[in-house]
Every structure is written in C-alpha cells, then in structure tokens.
Structure 1
Amino acid sequence: SCDELPQYLERHYLLPHGQAQLLTEICLRQRQLLPAAEKQVGIYIGIPFCPTRCSYCSFPSGIVPLEEELQQKFLNFIEQDMLTVVQLLSMYSLNVTAVYIGGGTPTSLSETAFARLIALTARHLLLPGVREFTVEAGRPDCFSAEKLKVMEACGVNRISVNPQTLHDKTLKAIGRSHTVQDFYRSYDLVRHSGIKTVNTDLIIGLPGETADDVRASLDGIRALAPDNLTVHTLTLKKSAPIFGAQFSSLTAEDAEALVAYGGETAAAMGMLPYYLYRQHYMLGNLANIGYAASGSASLYNIQMMEERHVVLGIGPASATKVPQADGHHLKKLNMPKDIGTYTGNLPQLAHKRSLLFADEEE
C-alpha cells in the first residue's frame, strides 16, 4: 500500500527515509497527472546542435553549422522522420499527448531554419489530443525575440530557459558564451510573451562553485518565480571534457544539503516535486528532481522518465520506447548519435522503429 511503501523501500532497497518518501509521493502525483494509458504518446524531436559545448556535457551534440544550406538539408531528414512517425500514429491509433523539441539546443539554428522546424512540427504533429508543446531554449546566447514570436504563433505553450548558474565566472569556466544578464533578458522576453509555462534549470556541483554560490543561484531563481524548476546534480560521463578531473569543490554532504535547499526553494514558490531520475557518476549519488507549480507539470517528462507510456523519438540520438503489455518490459530503439549515420540510414531506421509496434523480429 502507499502507506507501507516507504518502509518497504527502506527495508528491502536500503533507501534513506527521505528518498523513500519522496519516491512514493512522486509516483502518486504522476498517476494523478498522467494516468497510465496504453495509447498515450509523447514525441521527442532531437536537434543535435549547440553554439558551444559545455565542459560538463556528455550529450552527442555538435557545433551548429553556420551554413544555412546545411541546416536546411538536416531539416529535410527531420521532416522525413516526422512523416514516418505520422504513419505510425495513424496505423496504431496512437494519441499524442505531448511534443517536445530538445537537443542540443534547437534555438541554435538560424532564424529561418528554426522557423521551419517549428512550422513543420506544428503542421505534422500538433494533433487534436496534444496538450503540451515544449521547446528547449536553454541557451540565452541563441535566443531571440523573432524565434519567440515563431513559437507563439505555432502553439508552443512550454519553454525552458536554463541558466544552470547565476554566476558569470562559472558560465565562463564551463564554456558558455553568454552572461547572467543575457539569461535575465531572455527570461523577461518569455514572461512578456503568450507562452504560459516557463522552466529553469540549475546544476549543483559546477566547477569552482561553492555552496554559497549555489544557494545564491537558487535564491535568484526564487525571485523570478518560474513555473517549473529542475535541480540537477552534476553528472559526468566519459565523453564529457572534464570527465576524470577534480571538477567540484563540493563534498557529497554539501551536495545533499543543497539538493534539500533546492526542494525548500521550490516549496517556497508553491512547487511540488513531480519527477526525478538518477545517472551514473552523479555527485553524492543524488538525483535530478523536477518541481512544478500547480497545473504546470510537464507531461512529457513523466512519459520519458517513468517509461509507462510510448515515446516516439525523431532525430539523431533520440529514443523510441514502447512499454509491453506485461508492465515489466520495454522495447526500445536508439537513433544513431552521429548525424551522418542517421541521415544515411533513415529508411532502415524508420522500419526498425515500426517493428517495435508490429511485434516482429528485427
């Protein structure tokens, strides 16, 4: 039972009481927000480009090509991929609930290419059942009023503008080419737009940051009062430039206290935790926790992280996940991380993705 579950997790999985209680609360909240339904679907569109690469980053993103022609050629393949997904939706009567454009940094595309991406998504995938349309606009150095207008016009109702820290010294140290003031300007633009929900991310454990630095960033976000806050604990993977280095001055105990402070900050803004996930090489063996004010939780985040719903991935490094009827198994296809491998094999990859639904041998 729900009352007994925290104690069960403590006894059989050795979880600390606070984590066991948090997991139970989040699971109950998710089932209220998005009850398990076989044919509810989330769609992810991966744009594998960024203006620069952060030193802690392990995502398979490349530096965005400056040539408009190359960006447009890439979008030709994204549109082909979208159309094969549209066929799957029709063949299997799948109901799309959420559409999420992430990366990388989708807004790193040129004004023209970005406008085309948003228009293609709206035309092909914004079906009647879609309740949320999210764009990851995390990097203020490639955000603009023009791109925001395109998003408004095409029905985007969620956006992420992610500073990761509110200290210029840290932004410089991790390889970001924007300032804290750039973030404030981008955030202000979104707040004065018609896009309803705004998310911000912060990372605990960035190179050179003290506990006081992290608290100051959290306090700064509290003053802005976004609708969502995701508190990440720095995770290093082998492809990250600073993997293996002494990247953080924080101890595991520091990190744990700061995660708790993040929860207190979210609560002070009227937010509740609604999803979490853990990764390897995470500082203090902690977790990334997403908080949301009432009515603003991301359905896509629940679909992707909890793996109880179908997720269709479009683009390089995206993942398609198809939970099986027994409730314990998952069929999955990861698109290649390399852009050339993805574009050169798209018909075969689309066929493999279709087999996840057809119960055929790959």
Structure 2
Amino acid sequence: MDRNVGVNPAPPLIDRFGRQITYLRLSVTDRCDLRCVYCMKARPDFLPKADLLSLEELTILCDAFIARGVTKIRLTGGEPLVRKDVLSLIENLGTRIGRAGLKELCLTTNATQLPRFADRLAAAGIQRLNISLDTLDSDVYRRLTRGGDVNNALAGIAAAKAAGLQVKINAVAMASINEVHLPELIRWAHGEGHDVSLIEVMPVGEIGADRSAQFLSLRDVCATLSDRWTLTDLPDNTGGPARYVRVEDTGGRLGFISPLTGNFCDSCNRVRVTCTGELFTCLGKSGRIDLRHALRNGGPAALEHALDDAMAEKPWGHDFDVSPGAGAAVDRDMARTGG
C-alpha cells in the first residue's frame, strides 16, 4: 500500500506578500581558497567545523524545501568545493532531480577546484555553474583576490566547458579597479560561449574597505558599453534578478544585476540558508530563523514550523546604501551568508 495515499502534500512556501519561494541558495561552508576584497576581510574569522551542519543535515533541509515547492537549489560558499566530501552531498541531491520535484541543482564557484571536480559534477547532475571571475588581468585578479592566480580559474573554466557544463561568468563591477577590464572579460567570455552577468557591489559584511569607493553603477556601465557595442534588450528570465541584453557585436548574452540602481525585490523568489542552518529571507536584512536548532531539537515538525515563521517574517526587500559613511547593511559577510 502506498504510504502517501491520503496524506496532504506540504503547502508551498508563500510569503506575506504573495511571493512563492522556489529557489534556495544553500551555503555548505564559509571557507574559501581566495580572499576577495568585496567578500571578506583579509584575515577572516572562519567558523569552527563543529558549527557546520553535517552533510546529512544539509540533505534533510534540502528535502524539506523541495517538499514545500522549491524547484531550484544553488550550492554556494565560501567556495563550496573546498568542503571535504561535498561531492557526496551533490551526488545525493542529484538523485532528487526530476523525481522529488527538484528541477535544477547548480553551483556557484570561483573555478579553482574545477580541474579536479568538473567531470564528477556533471555526472552528479549539475548542469550549470556560476563562476566568479572579475577580470582576466593577472595583476588585477591577484589584487582583488588577495593573492590568487587567474590561470587557476581559467583552467577550471576550461575543465567545466570540457565536461559539458554550462558556464555563466559573474563579475562584480568595481570603480577604478576592474572597470576598464570589463569589456575584455565580456568579449572573451562570449567568445568561449559563456554568458556574463555584471553585479553591483553590495554593502554586506564589514570588509575593512570603503564600499562607496568600490561602487560602480551598472546604469553607467551599460551606457559606456552602449557606446562601444549594440545592446538589444532580451525578455529572458533565468529565475534570478538579472536583466539581460544581447551584445550584437559578440553574439553573447549579458546580464545586469543591480540591487542598488535597479531594485528587483518585488519578484523575489529566493531565500538563503547558511552552512550553520540560519535561514535569511533577505540578503540585506538581519532577520534570521535558526533551522539547525529546529532540526536538532524538534525534528520535522519543528522544521516545518520554522519555515512557516520565515515566510511570515520575510520583508518586502532590502534598502542598500553605499554612500560614504553608510557602513554595511548587515554585519555578516558574503562568504558566511552564501552567494
């Protein structure tokens, strides 16, 4: 006899503004092998490993979200591929694709670990990667990542392409840092068959730097690129906040993610869960729900109640401010929150 006969399915996750949550960004670690200047401090305080959810607990959380209507899960960090045995989690979640309601499992990475993992990621069910790459210039890359080698990232991107993975390049646009290098990055990526999305600097976490000096409006970037190339608006929607154009001169697709100059909160369909089980319903707000406590102390019922509480508390949106002296919107850094 089917044990599910007569059992009502779990209700979808719908917030108080009527937005349905179908997209989970799940951090599996706060650790990273780079130290990007817009993401973390030069000497970050990494969490004790004992504070992290186990791979089994991460799987249980994913199953709970899938049961409530989440169709897309993105694994993030930090750098997710530096977590020991993370491939076992990915392979396990890959079995949910098309069977348990999950439509897509994807990954955000800096690409440095992909020469080792690309083939296994593809075999596990990963189809798309978001790869953080802010410049092709080796000196600028070293400065931005505090010592990284761009050739390691490029080797990882090549490995992903060889494995048949769809790659999108994410670049944080920064004034006077990588601003002049963005056209070169876009042309190269489109030549390799990769989409590119540009992202505005966001005031998340104290990084020991003035974000007002880093901030570059994507409205200005778009205007500058329009002087160089022909940009045609596209209706494409990949489930995230990007607005897309076709760069007619390169034949590639370019996205603009503008949390400050083009607020997109009205269509928000996502939440973030950290590697310690804190659920953040908004990247720019401090409100959180402790899923780890619910999971470890109350079991499935408590976890369901916690998800309901999160929907009741999800705010309309963020109110980022990168004006001089404004400080960070929240004190947690991006590596801990998950990209």
TM-score by length of structure 1 reads: 0.59
User: Aligned residue for 1:214?
Assistant: 182
**8 Å Cα contact 1:97-1:129 kept in structure 2:** yes
Amino acid at match of 1:223: G
- Is 1:49 paired with 2:31? yes
User: Aligned residue for 1:194?
Assistant: 164
Amino acid at match of 1:41: T
Mark the CA change 1:152 to 1:239 in structure 2 (over 3 Å): closer, same or farther. Answer: same
Residue 278 of structure 1 deviates from its aligned partner by 1.0
**8 Å Cα contact 1:43-1:314 kept in structure 2:** no
SS at match of 1:174: helix
Amino acid at match of 1:157: Q
SS at match of 1:49: coil
Could you tell me how far apart the structure 1 residues matched to 2:203 and 2:280 are?
A: 24
Residue 55 of structure 1 deviates from its aligned partner by 1.4
Amino acid at match of 2:186: L
User: Aligned residue for 1:165?
Assistant: 135
Residue 127 of structure 1 deviates from its aligned partner by 3.7
Could you tell me how far apart the structure 2 residues matched to 1:147 and 1:130 are?
A: 22
1:102-134 CA-partner distances (Å, limit 9, x unpaired): 122101224xx2222313433567644322211
**8 Å Cα contact 1:75-1:117 kept in structure 2:** no
User: Aligned residue for 2:174?
Assistant: 205
**8 Å Cα contact 1:44-1:318 kept in structure 2:** no
2:59 aligned to which of 82, 88, 93: 82
1:210-266 CA-partner distances (Å, limit 9, x unpaired): 53x33222222232220x311123334451221267447x79986453465698384
Deviation larger for 214-223 or 125-134: 125-134
1:347 aligned to which of 296, 299, 303: 296
Calculate percent identity across the aligned residue pairs.
12
Could you tell me how far apart the structure 2 residues matched to 1:122 and 1:144 are?
A: 18
User: Aligned residue for 1:329?
Assistant: none
Q: Unaligned stretches of 5+ in structure 1?
A: 1-36, 280-285, 289-301, 323-331, 337-341
1:141-178 CA-partner distances (Å, limit 9, x unpaired): 3x133311221121011112221111111112123443
**8 Å Cα contact 1:233-1:287 kept in structure 2:** no
Amino acid at match of 1:106: P
**8 Å Cα contact 1:45-1:313 kept in structure 2:** yes
Mark the CA change 1:251 to 1:38 in structure 2 (over 3 Å): closer, same or farther. Answer: closer
User: Aligned residue for 1:242?
Assistant: 209
1:286-331 CA-partner distances (Å, limit 9, x unpaired): 459xxxxxxxxxxxxx9x9822x46573634764659xxxxxxxxx
Mark the CA change 1:346 to 1:305 in structure 2 (over 3 Å): closer, same or farther. Answer: farther
Q: CA RMSD in A?
A: 4.6
User: Aligned residue for 1:334?
Assistant: 288
Amino acid at match of 2:223: A
- Is 1:224 paired with 2:224? no
Could you tell me how far apart the structure 1 residues matched to 2:36 and 2:203 are?
A: 12
Q: 1 or 2 for the larger relative contact order (CA 8 Å, sep ≥6)?
A: 2
Could you tell me how far apart the structure 2 residues matched to 1:359 and 1:180 are?
A: 39
Could you tell me how far apart the structure 1 residues matched to 2:256 and 2:219 are?
A: 22
Query: Any residues of structure 2 matched to 1:122-141 within 5 Å, and which?
Result: 122-123=94-95, 127-137=99-109, 139-141=110-112
**8 Å Cα contact 2:96-2:102 kept in structure 1:** no
Could you tell me how far apart the structure 1 residues matched to 2:252 and 2:298 are?
A: 40
SS at match of 1:278: coil
- Is 1:180 paired with 2:166? no
Could you tell me how far apart the structure 2 residues matched to 1:41 and 1:86 are?
A: 13
Residue 101 of structure 1 deviates from its aligned partner by 0.5
SS at match of 1:53: coil
Could you tell me how far apart the structure 2 residues matched to 1:89 and 1:82 are?
A: 10
Could you tell me how far apart the structure 2 residues matched to 1:127 and 1:333 are?
A: 33
SS at match of 1:161: strand
Could you tell me how far apart the structure 2 residues matched to 1:237 and 1:321 are?
A: 14
Structure with higher helix content = 1
**8 Å Cα contact 2:107-2:129 kept in structure 1:** yes
Count of residues in correspondence between the two structures: 277
User: Aligned residue for 1:357?
Assistant: 308
TM-score by length of structure 2 reads: 0.63
Query: Any residues of structure 2 matched to 1:271-290 within 5 Å, and which?
Result: 276-279=257-260, 286=261
Amino acid at match of 1:49: R
1:59-107 CA-partner distances (Å, limit 9, x unpaired): 9x95778xxxx7698352x4224314524654xxx34421210122101
